[in-house]
């Protein structure tokens, strides 16, 4: 099929609406434009085709023979388009909502709250993918990611979710209750670090600390790190939002704190296309829960 000689789609839509309603005014309401705009588009279509398509008939309009032929073809074509679009939208609605997050975010923040989302939206099938790898959203069926960083991921839409500074925490059974540590002192402790991340080296570098020797690091799945820290197996560097309740309860002690850089924290990251309905609902929900967290933590 050649598109070269087809009239503009706006004119075809305007004419189809006129043919369906027999009125420029009614067609304008259907298309959410003025009746004058509809009339202008139909006249442009007539000029393009070189024939009259409508005639005034009292307070409305009637179709000419050519207009009736065109209207019949357009109605069939738009019906097929509408049915296809509905099928696609229905499929997009029914497809599971695929969300990728870091394991630590999943265990420490998302999972304790996800039952609330399921109670509000039981119709949405949710697929959570906890991974330390940065998933290529353009080359996968992942709908949205929650990532830690400064909010700069080229080609994607990013909006802040939870902005949080970093803390190094440990159990008093390992680090004591009152001892004051400098960042360089902390390299002598055993460290627990989430698999696939390099948070310890990055934190030490930001503090200007050059390790004196090979660091004592145990790499664990994200869901095991905080449990190990609470047991006194090691210390860790993590976003404060994940350990605030444990700090307040006295289970963990803050050994060092790094105030958040501007825009540093967890972000909602997705492609630039129009989000499908389940994703809109999830984003609305997770932003509301994040706002509640910031209130509870005093703005982090």
CATH assignment of the domain containing 274: 3.40.190.10
Q: Is residue 3 domain-resident?
A: no
Please determine, for residue 139, whether its predicted confidence score (pLDDT) is greater than 80.
no
One domain for residues 80 and 99:
no
Please determine, for residue 232, whether its predicted confidence score (pLDDT) is greater than 90.
yes
Cβ pair 129, 99 in contact under 8 A: yes
Joined together, the tokens standing for residue 36 give 């004058």
One domain for residues 173 and 247:
yes
One domain for residues 274 and 155:
yes
Q: Is residue 289 domain-resident?
A: yes
Confidence of residue 3 (pLDDT cuts 50, 70, 90): confident
Confidence of residue 173 (pLDDT cuts 50, 70, 90): very high
Question: What's the rounded mean pLDDT across residues 170-175?
Answer: 93
Q: Residue 206: phi, psi to the nearest 5? A: -65, -25
Confidence of residue 218 (pLDDT cuts 50, 70, 90): very high
High-pLDDT (> 70) share of the chain, %:
93
Helix axes 24-31, 9-21, angle to 10 degrees: 120
One domain for residues 103 and 89:
no
Question: What's the rounded mean pLDDT across residues 54-66?
Answer: 87
One domain for residues 130 and 267:
yes
Q: Is residue 1 domain-resident?
A: no
Confidence of residue 52 (pLDDT cuts 50, 70, 90): very high
Q: Is residue 18 domain-resident?
A: yes
Confidence of residue 279 (pLDDT cuts 50, 70, 90): very high
Question: What's the rounded mean pLDDT across residues 49-66?
Answer: 88
One domain for residues 283 and 145:
yes
Confidence of residue 255 (pLDDT cuts 50, 70, 90): very high
Rg for the chain (alpha carbons), in Å? Answer: 29
One domain for residues 76 and 194:
no
CATH number, domain containing residue 73: 1.10.10.10
Q: Is residue 233 domain-resident?
A: yes
High-pLDDT (> 90) share of the chain, %:
42
**pLDDT score at 295:** 79
Q: Is residue 38 domain-resident?
A: yes
Q: Is residue 179 domain-resident?
A: yes
Domain limits for position 222:
166-258
Domain boundary residue, one of 73, 93, 113 = 93
One domain for residues 213 and 230:
yes
> Picking from 54-58, 66-70, 191-195, 217-221, which range would have the lowest pLDDT averaged per residue?
54-58
Nearest to 149 by CA among 138, 139, 161, 137: 161
**pLDDT score at 252:** 94
Q: Is residue 113 domain-resident?
A: yes
Confidence of residue 168 (pLDDT cuts 50, 70, 90): very high
How far the first Cα of the chain sits from its last, in Å, is: 59
- Burial of residue 41 (CB within 10 Å: 0-12, 13-18, 19+) is buried
Domain count, the chain: 3
One domain for residues 177 and 212:
yes
Confidence of residue 204 (pLDDT cuts 50, 70, 90): confident
One domain for residues 139 and 278:
yes
**pLDDT score at 262:** 56
One domain for residues 79 and 145:
no
One domain for residues 146 and 272:
yes
**pLDDT score at 90:** 62
């Amino acid at each position: 099929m050649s598109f070269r000689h087809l009239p503009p789609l706006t004119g075809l839509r305007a004419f189809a609406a006129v043919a369906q309603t027999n009125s420029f005014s009614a067609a304008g309401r259907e298309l959410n434009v003025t009746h004058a705009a509809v009339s202008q588009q139909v006249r442009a279509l007539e000029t393009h085709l070189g024939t009259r398509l409508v005639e005034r008939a009292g307070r409305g309009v009637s179709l000419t023979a050519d207009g009736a032929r065109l209207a019949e073809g357009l109605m069939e074509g738009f019906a097929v388009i509408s049915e296809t679009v509905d099928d696609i939208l229905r499929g997009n609605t029914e497809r599971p909502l695929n969300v990728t997050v870091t394991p630590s975010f999943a265990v420490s923040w998302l999972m304790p709250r996800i039952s609330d989302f399921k109670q509000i939206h039981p119709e949405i099938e949710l697929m959570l993918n906890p991974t330390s790898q940065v998933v290529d959203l353009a080359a996968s069926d992942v709908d949205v990611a929650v990532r830690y960083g400064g909010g700069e991921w080229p080609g994607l839409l990013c909006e802040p979710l939870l902005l949080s500074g970093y803390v190094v925490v440990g159990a008093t059974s390992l680090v004591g209750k009152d001892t004051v540590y400098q960042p360089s002192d902390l390299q002598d402790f055993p460290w627990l670090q989430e698999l696939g991340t390099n948070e310890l080296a990055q934190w030490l570098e930001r503090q200007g600390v050059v390790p004196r020797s090979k660091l004592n690091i145990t790499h664990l799945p994200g869901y095991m790190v905080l449990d190990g820290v609470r047991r006194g197996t090691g210390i860790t560097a993590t976003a404060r939002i994940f350990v605030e309740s444990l700090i307040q309860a006295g289970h963990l002690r803050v050994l060092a704190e790094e105030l958040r850089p501007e825009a540093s924290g967890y972000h909602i990251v997705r492609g630039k296309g129009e989000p499908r309905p389940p994703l809109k609902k999830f984003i609305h929900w997770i932003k509301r829960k994040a706002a509640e967290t910031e209130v509870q933590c005093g703005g982090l």
